[in-house]
């Protein structure tokens, strides 16, 4: 395949005289032209697509049927695709500075240059893909069987259910500590993967892999980091207000000996294994208990909603906007439930396995509100894939990866109490200020609480890739960032024998994470723009675009662009703005922030 790529790069040369002796030399190759660039992308795009299909197919099988054979097959397919992509990325560099290239070809070349590349050394490349499979497989198979290994073993799904429902601090601590043991063996594998990723990044002109990740946003790495810091500064005051209120409420359950004044909150008490979203502690921090019934989980169980009804409900939201139904193959090929007979990765994800509208989701759906929202989110990925899959391969994808995450999240914002009442999942829409605060606080425990977590994971990895954080300080630096940005602390003493970052899927699987932080900003921008398109005039938090074709048309116009335009142009198509902006999030939560400040009066906030 390497030779096939090079054929597109060869330049036509004039016939040269035969060599007559040792001093004769080959003629110099002609400089590449705009026509050569066009021929290159027309050749390499379909080849990368074909290799990507093989890799995606192998990964799907490995994710839904984890064993040594599927691990090996995935590693081999990924290595083949990476080898092809590595050479293509390097070859694309030939065309820098070539004049006369048409806009579409120039865009394809730029999209190719920021793709990942493995080391040129084939053994190192195979080592890299094997390490990736081992790390994600270790995560997927992780279980906690007690400190002596004699308890009934529990996987992440079971441990997460305990953390979501229990308010027994000892049980929560056991679940938290137990899951964080599964990542200890990852530490040396992760460190070696960093070395190999950096090797590949340097070969294509980046200082390190972190710089390559940040270059995917059409800004310099330093400028992009400043951009994320700017967005965080916009929304941080709201997070600080929420943190202060939640800590005071948790003290009422766990006491000030466990949740101290003006100190970080212990990470195991927030209802989530990573304390990334705090929705599950809503019963402990509910502003006005008994005022409003928001127990969607109980309604789903009582009404016997199964996975199919939940997914059909998600699809119905998108089709209500005038978007297409999902293809029949979606229902035949997706994984909706956790199989009983094999190990799988339950972490929800959306796929177009064969890059031809072969849409699927992979989930272990439960009859709860979190799964219902996740379905709406994952289908956002599928609809993005659906509306750009017919573009040339090198123009497919999200305008940037935060866009891909924000689509479904913006739809979830329309899952208002009015929408949930329409589904029969709540009895009444809150009609007064107390009801509004209940709704907004519950929403903020998901969306606002997540913001610093979404930012810090890649801040940690950027510094790992650059060498600022050395392997000897992996865990120490991890908790320093979690304290700084989230105001959280580990519930147990940690050491460098631990590798707590690896207990998060995206670190084990090498998935960049800043996209989720950006999506938390963009989803509110998108929501505001679609509400404006729908003609909605009220407070932003009351808007649902369900059933509105004008809002759907605005959404579709952006989805169809894929990655064919720079992201500011895609953002403009949706919002009329060319800059990411946290003001829509602040507008949405304005009633809650005012209330939080009143509740926090007299409290010593911060940590």
Active site residues: 347-348, 377-378, 381, 405, 506, 516
Backbone angles phi, psi at 450, to 5 degrees: -75, -25
How far is it, in rounded angstroms, from Cα 470 to Cα 32?
42
3-state SS assignment for residue 359: strand
How far is it, in rounded angstroms, from Cα 380 to Cα 563?
16
How far is it, in rounded angstroms, from Cα 486 to Cα 592?
19
Token pair 């005039």 in the structure block, residue: 537
CB 56 within 8 A of CB 351: yes
Burial bucket for residue 379 (CB in 10 Å: 0-12, 13-18, 19+) = buried
Determine how many CB atoms are found less than 10 A away from the CB of residue 224: 20
Structure tokens at 103: 């806009």
The CA-CA-CA angle for residues 414, 415, 416, to 5°, reads: 85
Burial bucket for residue 34 (CB in 10 Å: 0-12, 13-18, 19+) = middle
H/E run at residue 476:
helix 474-481
Q: Which of 376, 399, 385 is nearest to 319 (CA)?
A: 376
CB 113 within 8 A of CB 203: no
DSSP single-letter state for residue 182: T
3-state SS assignment for residue 239: helix
Backbone angles phi, psi at 335, to 5 degrees: -110, 110
3-state SS assignment for residue 147: coil
CB 200 within 8 A of CB 117: yes
How far is it, in rounded angstroms, from Cα 190 to Cα 493?
22
Determine how many CB atoms are found less than 10 A away from the CB of residue 313: 16
Cβ-count burial 504-541 (b if 16+ within 10 Å, e if not): bbbbbbbbbbbbbbbbbbbbbbbbbbbbbbbebeeebb
Roughly how many angstroms between the first and final C-alpha of the chain, as a whole number?
Answer: 56
How far is it, in rounded angstroms, from Cα 231 to Cα 207?
25
How far is it, in rounded angstroms, from Cα 216 to Cα 228?
14
Token pair 């922030």 in the structure block, residue: 593
Token pair 């894929």 in the structure block, residue: 562
The full length of the chain comes to: 607
Residue 298 neighbours by CB under 8 Å, 6+ apart: none
3-state SS assignment for residue 406: helix
Cβ-count burial 381-419 (b if 16+ within 10 Å, e if not): bbbbbbbbbebbbbbbbbbbbbbbbbbbbbbbbbbbbeb
Token pair 């998600």 in the structure block, residue: 314
């Amino acid at each position: 395949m390497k030779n096939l790529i090079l054929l597109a790069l060869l330049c036509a040369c004039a016939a040269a005289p035969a060599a007559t002796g040792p001093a004769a030399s080959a003629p110099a190759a002609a400089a590449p032209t705009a026509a050569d660039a066009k021929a290159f992308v027309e050749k390499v795009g379909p080849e990368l697509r074909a290799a990507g299909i093989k890799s995606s197919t192998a990964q799907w099988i490995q994710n839904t049927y984890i064993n040594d054979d599927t691990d090996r097959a995935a590693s081999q397919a990924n290595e083949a695709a990476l080898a092809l992509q590595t050479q293509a990325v390097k070859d694309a560099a030939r065309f820098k500075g070539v004049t006369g290239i048409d806009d579409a070809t120039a865009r394809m070349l730029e999209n190719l240059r920021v793709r990942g590349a493995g080391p040129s050394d084939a053994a190192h490349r195979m080592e890299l893909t094997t390490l990736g499979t081992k790390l994600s497989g270790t995560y997927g198979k992780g279980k906690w069987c007690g400190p002596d290994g004699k308890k009934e073993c529990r996987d992440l799904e079971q441990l997460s259910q305990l953390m979501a429902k229990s308010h027994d601090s000892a049980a929560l601590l056991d679940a938290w500590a137990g899951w964080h043991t599964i990542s200890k063996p990852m530490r040396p594998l992760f460190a070696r993967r960093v070395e190999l990723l950096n090797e590949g990044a340097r070969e294509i002109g980046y200082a390190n892999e972190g710089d390559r990740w940040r270059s995917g946003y059409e800004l310099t790495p330093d400028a992009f980091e400043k951009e994320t810091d700017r967005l965080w500064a916009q929304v941080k005051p709201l997070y600080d207000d929420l943190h202060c209120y939640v800590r005071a409420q948790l003290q009422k359950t766990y006491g000030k000996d466990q949740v101290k004044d003006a100190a970080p909150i212990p990470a195991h008490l927030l209802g989530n294994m990573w304390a990334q979203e705090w929705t599950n502690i809503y019963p402990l921090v509910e502003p006005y208990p008994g005022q409003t019934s928001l127990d969607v989980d109980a309604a789903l169980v009582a009404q016997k909603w199964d996975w199919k009804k939940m997914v059909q409900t998600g699809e119905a939201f998108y089709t209500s906007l005038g978007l297409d139904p999902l293809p029949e193959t979606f229902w035949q090929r997706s994984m909706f439930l956790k199989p009983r007979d094999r190990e799988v990765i339950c972490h929800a994800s959306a796929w177009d396995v064969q890059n031809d509208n072969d849409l699927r989701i992979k989930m272990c759906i439960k009859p709860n509100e979190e799964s219902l929202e996740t379905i709406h989110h994952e289908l956002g990925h599928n609809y993005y894939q659906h509306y750009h899959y017919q573009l040339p391969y090198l123009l497919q994808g999200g305008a940037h990866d935060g866009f891909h995450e924000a689509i479904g999240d913006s739809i979830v914002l329309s899952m208002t109490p009015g929408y949930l009442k329409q589904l029969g999942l709540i009895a009444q829409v809150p009609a007064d200020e107390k009801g509004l605060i209940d709704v907004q606080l519950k929403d903020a425990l998901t969306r606002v609480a997540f913001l610093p977590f979404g930012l810090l994971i890649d801040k940690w990895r950027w510094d790992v890739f650059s060498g600022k954080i050395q392997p000897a300080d992996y865990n120490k630096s991890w908790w320093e960032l979690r304290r700084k940005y989230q105001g959280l602390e580990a519930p147990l003493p940690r050491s460098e024998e631990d590798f707590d970052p690896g207990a998060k899927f995206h670190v084990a699987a090498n998935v960049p994470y800043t996209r989720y932080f950006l999506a938390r900003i963009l989803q509110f921008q998108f929501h505001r723009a679609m509400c404006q398109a729908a003609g909605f005039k009220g407070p932003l938090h009351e808007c649902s675009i369900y059933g509105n074709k004008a809002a759907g048309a605005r959404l579709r116009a952006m989805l169809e662009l894929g990655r064919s335009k720079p992201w500011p142009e895609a953002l403009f198509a949706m919002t009329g703005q060319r800059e990411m902006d946290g003001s829509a999030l602040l507008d949405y939560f304005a009633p809650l922030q005012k209330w939080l400040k009143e509740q926090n009066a007299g409290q010593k906030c911060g940590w």
